[in-house]
Amino acid sequence: MNENDLLERYLSRLQLAAPPPPTERGLRDLHLAHLVHVPFENLDIPPASRCAPGCSLMEAASPSPARPWS
């Protein structure tokens, strides 16, 4: 898949017929279309090694050396 194909697929997902102009307004329109048409999900699914069947939610959510940001 080349760059043009990716751009066409992205614009289609945003329901834009063509790329917006390279202006402040065009950037604002592109950003708004992305916010409206691309859902955001912040999923953090613990790997199986961190949470064995039957472990508590607190155990699954506890900080881990592999995830220093938790």
Full-model pTM: 0.55
63 pLDDT exceeds 90?
no
∠ CA 20-25-31, nearest 5°, is 70
pLDDT for the residue 7: 92
For 10-55, write each residue's pLDDT tens digit: 999 999 999 999 999 999 999 999 999 998 766 666 565 556 666 6
pLDDT for the residue 69: 47
C-alpha 49, offset from chain centre: 25
Please tell me whether residue 40 adopts helix, strand or coil conformation: coil
